[in-house]
Structure 1
Amino acid sequence: MDFRLKVFYTVANRLSFTKAATELFITQPAVSKHIQELEEEYQIKLFDRTGNKISLTQAGQLLLTHTNKIFEIYREIDFDMSSLINQQRGLLRIGASTTISQYIIPPLLARFHQKLKDVKVNLRNGNTEQIENALLNKEIEIGIVEGQSKNKSIKYSPFLKDELVLVCNSKNALVSKTEIAKEDLLNMDFLMREQGSGTLEVIEYALKPLDINLSQLHIEMELGSTESIKSYLVNSDCVAFISIHAIEKELKNQELVILDINNLIIERYFYIITLQGKKDALSELFIKNISNHYNLKL
């Protein structure tokens, strides 16, 4: 029964029998058989099938909610029981917004794994909105995000200070300017992250003292990752606000240059997010490890 639920959980999250089969290392007919047996067990359909696409029925949504809770309990049992024999093992699911997953967290995960080799970590990448939703849906135990929304179900703990800087490629004529004024910003061609990005939220807030709305800026293109923005910048005359952590290599290689903006410094924190009132032993262990690394008090 447990494996059937695991098959259902994987199909429900991937919305694909083929992807679920690949992830679980079983055949697609075996996946179909497990789902069929569950539907026969509960005498109700769990998925609607339209052509090659599937979606959860109301019953499927309800079963997924219960399955999330069951697997959450299993993870806690696994950790607590192993702790009795001085071992720490289990599965920890972490979500990180794009900048953090690419430039901040990989070294932290490597150090964590060196200390706790029996703890398996799954890292999910997405924008801040997607990671917060994954936490609320209990698809992850911990998130690390840019920006800070107002969701009262989420606990936000400051993790690491960051600065967003305005950059362009080193051949851009703007490099000759000593300082960028408000009027200059209104005449530039910008690259921006997509809606739902924590970076976009922070930029929008930081520009308010200059009486600039995002709608006033000329946005040439919205792109879904910092890497794609950097690549576009190198091959265009556009500018973009990017985390200082994300451009160390490009600054060193003199591919990108920081433009100083008159009366504007954009600082923010990256936040560790967990569900309010929810304590998870593995999550606390991970938070403790990264807190010790940065000498934080979380």
Structure 2
Amino acid sequence: MLDWRDLQVFVAAAELDTFSAAAQELHISQPAITQRISALEKQLGVKLFERQGRRVHLSEAGVYFLPLAKDLMRRCKRTEEMMQSLRGEVVGHLTVGCSTTTGKYLLPPVMARFIDRYPGVQATIRVGSRNRVLELLTLREVNLAFTSIPTPHRQIRYLRFKEDEVVLIVPISHPWVKRQSISPEMLLQEHLILREPGSGTYQAMEAALARHDISVDELQTVITVGNSEAIILAVEEGIGVGFAPKLAAQRCHRLGNIHMLTLTDAPMAYTIWMAENTAQPATAAQLHFLEMLKEEGYLKEKETGS
């Protein structure tokens, strides 16, 4: 029978490329690493590594075995967590992926409330591009993912998490600081700082302007950036005006660094989606996190996008 500690050593050595680095990572001696790898290779009847000086590289068999070993470790960990949950304990590690600016601002306080309720759970929020976060979900490296675009995938189920408003932001030196809203046509005379096409913010802005027969191509775009924080910073510096999620912009607005407005008769909003991998069994921590979200009023709407 395979020993999960041997699997842990193998995965660490495979990912770090040296036995010495794996020993440091796992806080055991290097001879112990070598011994466990040798025992695992003997048990499996194949060489898992090719040695080249101090560095090691996976053999063909090792490349094949690595995802299997990771899956076995996840199953062992999940079994331990579920058995502990049967005793009334909620423990484990909840890893959440996030690709939206809104999620970066919204998830930390939600996660803090969850940890406060279940102190035996450790939590990690991994932030990356939308494609990367969904890739992590399909690879089972995160339990849940939050995104502004529900990209169809046969293994992914999406549920509505929250609607977020998009606002127009301007520098505090701008003449519009005394206004609460402007007509969309007034944007044609301004320098715009925009998100990249395809982002939730861009799509909300594009749809709002289209209702007034204004194309994004008609705007005087001076900078296109990949995140809302860069837009807020550029607006603070007086480079132009821009659009950002309200949750991301309101802190700088409260500090008096920028001013927020709406567009007259052109509401802007987008949906934050929560994604689950239907092929990945939920952990006890994940199930309790979903339960808390429902208690707080999230995840009420019908699932979609699968």
Matched, 1:109 2:138: no
Rate the CA distance shift 1:28–1:252 in 2: closer, same or farther, 3 A.
farther
TM-fit CA distance, 1:203: 4.5
Q: Deviations over 1:209-256 (max 9, x none)?
A: 445256966251424x43333223211322222111112222222211
Q: 1:184 aligns with which of 179, 183, 187?
A: 187
Instruction: Rate the CA distance shift 1:238–1:81 in 2: closer, same or farther, 3 A.
Output: same
Residues 196 and 262 of structure 1: CA distance in aligned 2, closer, same or farther (over 3 Å): closer
**1:209-220 aligned within 5 A:** 209=211, 210=213, 212-213=215-216, 218-220=221-223
Partners of 2:88 and 2:202 lie apart in 1 by 45
Q: Deviations over 1:239-285 (max 9, x none)?
A: 22211111222222221112333442221221111013544133221
Structure 1 residues 284 and 10, CA gap change in structure 2 (3 angstroms): same
TM-superposed deviation, 1:47: 8.2
| Structure 2 counterparts to residues 253-292 of structure 1, below 5 A | 253-276=255-278, 278-280=280-282, 281-292=284-295
Q: CA deviation at 1:205?
A: 5.3
User: What do the CA deviations read for 1:82-121 (whole angstroms, capped 9, x no partner)?
Assistant: 1232212122221122424531111111111122111222
Matches of 1:205 and 1:149, distance apart in 2: 19
The percentage of aligned residue pairs carrying the same residue is 21
Q: Which residue pairs with 2:148 in the alignment?
A: 146
CA distance, structure 2, for counterparts of residue 123 and residue 19 of structure 1: 29
Letter in 1 for 2:159: S
For the 8 Å contact 2:187–2:219, the answer to whether it is kept is no
Farther off after superposition, 34-43 or 115-124: 34-43
Map of 1:246 onto structure 2: 248
Give secondary structure in 2 for the equivalent of 1:139: coil
Letter in 1 for 2:25: L
Q: Cα 1:4–1:229, aligned 2, differ >3 Å: closer, same or farther?
A: farther
Mark the runs of 5 or more structure 1 residues left unpaired by the alignment. none
Give the letter aligned to residue 274 of structure 1: E
* Within-5 A mapping of 1:25-36: 26=27, 33=34
2:230 to 228, 231, 235: 228
Inter-CA distance 269–101: structure 2 relative to 1 (3 Å threshold) = closer
TM-score in terms of structure 1 length: 0.78
1:58-137 to structure 2, matched below 5 A, reads 59=61, 61-137=63-139
The change in CA–CA distance for 1:200 and 1:160 in structure 2 (over 3 A counts) is same
Moved more, 128-137 or 251-260: 251-260
Determine if the alignment matches structure 1 residue 293 to structure 2 residue 291: no
Q: Tell me how far apart the structure 1 counterparts of residues 34 and 72 of structure 2 sit (CA, whole Å).
A: 22
SS at match of 1:294: coil
Quote the residue 1:171 is aligned against.
173
1:93·1:123 contact (CA, 8 Å) conserved in 2? yes
How many residue pairs get matched?
292
- Give the Cα separation in 1 of the matches to 2:57 and 2:245: 37
The residue type equivalent to 1:179 in the other structure is: I
TM-score by length of 2: 0.76
Q: Give 3-state SS (helix, strand or coil) of 2:66's partner.
A: helix
Whether the 8 Å CA contact 1:135–1:275 is kept in 2: the answer is: yes
- Given residue 195 of structure 2, which amino acid in structure 1 is its aligned partner? M
1:24 matches 2:25: yes
- Whichever of the two has the greater Rg, that structure is 2
| Cα pair 2:92 2:121 within 8 Å, conserved | yes
**Taking structure 1 as reference, are residues 219 and 5 closer, same or farther at Cα in structure 2, changes over 3 Å only?**
farther
